[in-house]
Amino acid sequence: MTGPLEGVVVVDLSRVLAGPHAAMMLGDLGARVIKVEAEGGDETRQWGPPFAGDDRVSTYFLACNRNKESITLDLKSDRGRDVLTRLVRHADVVVENFRTGVLDRLGFPVERLHELNPGLVILSITGFGHDGPEGGRPGYDAIMQGEAGIMSVTGPPGRPSKTGLSICDVLAGMNGAYGVVAALYERTRTGRGAVVRTSLLASAVGAHAYQGSRWTVAGDVPESLGNDHPSIAPYGTFRCADGEIQIGVANEGLWRRFAPLVGLDPDDARFATVPDRTARRAELSAEIEKALSAEPRATWLARLDEAGIPAGSIRSIDEVYAWEQTRSQGLVVEVDHPQLGPIELPGPPLRFDDAPPREHTAPPLLGQHTERVLAWLDEVEG
């Protein structure tokens, strides 16, 4: 693997999405990622439909395990613990998302891991945090979207909804990966490893942004507003003659260019300021849609683009992956899967100027690289 983390060895003990996503991001950056699976494999190998191919390969598993090798170990056996011990000695990073205390019971508490390898960076991802009054609770993404307030500000008014993406898991993976990179950088100065901790709860609350400060500073409890923005108008979904588009008029300059396009006076006292427009959102939206209803979406998107007004289509997932802009950004990668052949996967979100395009490897079959990894251990220890 080539990339900024070339030469870094990651032992991925995690399962499902948050931990595997973090490890995949490190693999995208060039690290060697060795995914350690139980004999039955990561449970997401069985999650579906949809499955792909005659061998029923889980598309869920494919989404978060590219650029990895897979070995199978029974960590409750002497042999499994021995192999993991060897891996830890030669690793730079260990990623785990066991429930609090599980790794300790397997014989690998933090103290033992750092005894084996003082320079080891340990990423631990939990549901609610590793400590605190509810630190031991298991946490799946949908549970956390409710517990961490995301559902309360998502969906139609009065109908709490989860997002269509596993946003808490993915954010926890991203936060974990950047924490690992920071700890690796710190190690260049100190020579010591570190423990990086994040959780689905921390990642969700950390993403509250203005919805959080709305409460902590202003004492205002946010509520769901559908596709509208709580502090800006017009900003959301609007109906044209043949469907809906998104429009975002986020400042005064945009408003003064946008208003005449839909037949409004930008100095109309009803809508003169952002607070005025937000307070009269329903009235403003009705005025806008009266104008938009006269023309199709394509016409309005062209006019808005010409005026420099942020606006966009509402694309289905298949349309996103067919969109040339998506492909131009490297957001679709092709890999050669040992069972499925050439397949396309969602690609990494980072690009580095002047770096050559890298080749990605397919998510591995269960235990596909066990012998290779064991041979590598023999070589580095020999």
Give the active site residues: 169
Angstrom CA distances, 243 to 106, 284, 295, 296, 297, stand at 56, 19, 10, 7, 7
By DSSP bridging, strand 51-52 and strand 57-58 are: antiparallel
CB atoms within 10 A of CB 351: 11
Check the CA dihedral 22-24-27-29 and report its sign: negative
3-state secondary structure of 96: strand
* Residue 237, beta-bridge partner list: 246
- Whether cis (ω within 30° of 0) applies to the bond prior to 296 is no
Phi-psi bin for 56: left (phi > 0), alpha (psi -120 to 50), beta?
left
CB 338 within 8 A of CB 51: no
- Whether cis (ω within 30° of 0) applies to the bond prior to 49 is yes
- Alpha carbons within 13 A on the beta-carbon side of 346: 14
What whole-number distance in Å separates Cα of residue 376 and Cα of residue 382? 10
By DSSP bridging, strand 243-248 and strand 194-199 are: unpaired
Per DSSP, which regions of 102-234 are E strands?
121-126, 194-199
Q: Which of 108, 120, 41 is nearest to 73 (CA)?
A: 41
- Alpha carbons within 13 A on the beta-carbon side of 24: 28
Check the CA dihedral 51-53-56-62 and report its sign: negative
Question: What would the two tokens of residue 350 be?
Answer: 């980072």
